[in-house]
Amino acid sequence: IDTAGLRDANDEVERIGIERAWQEIEQADRVLFMVDGTTTDATDPADIWPDFIARLPKNLPITVVRNKADLTGETLGLSEVNDHSLVRLSARTGEGVDVLRNHLKQSMGFETNMEGGFLARRRHLQALSDAAEHLQQGKAQLLGAWAGELLAEELRLAQQSLSEITGEFTSDDLLGRIFSSFCIGK
């Protein structure tokens, strides 16, 4: 997500939006910390925006992206600075963008299955496997014991596994859709 505008806000609606952005950041797999290379020589995000870095979860990886290398004369590429990845690039010319793309693929664990041309992260595959297992268990509960409440729990667990990938769907949404046409009991 793009979180431009994270700041102290006076407007209530803006404050709510900023807080939602922070909730998304806290669920992120990685932060891309974009820096205009013409405004600072700093490469450590704690030197650039200490309040932002202080609020991040401590184990959340950060990639500092120093843009405008075409104007600063910085050497393009990837390096490590104070436990953070640092990519120097020029978005205007496109130089270094492939370095960032490859760094993100590698750091996020993407793998290619050449047989099907399917690109997936290991944790996504595990989440899909977990969800499938919960769906099988739910089916067994429904067919074997007619236990709708146990089916509902397995569906909730399957949804929770899938939300590790999407992060967009609540268990109430899932159960509401599935059970909107019939009752599971009183």
pLDDT cut 70: percent of the chain above it: 76
Q: Give start-end residues of each CATH 3.40.50.300 domain in the chain.
A: 12-108
Q: What is the CATH number of domain 12-108?
A: 3.40.50.300
43-64 residue pLDDT tens: 888 888 888 888 888 888 999 9
Query: What is the DSSP track for 83-95?
Result: TEEEEE--TTT-T
| Three-class secondary structure assignment of 47-78 | HHCHHHHHHCCCCCCEEEEEECHHHHCCCCEE
3-state class (DSSP) for residue 158: helix
Q: What is the mean pLDDT of residues 107-135?
A: 70
Q: Two tokens at 141?
A: 């509960």
User: Between residues 83 and 166, which one has the greater pLDDT?
Assistant: 83
Q: What is the mean pLDDT of residues 88-104?
A: 93
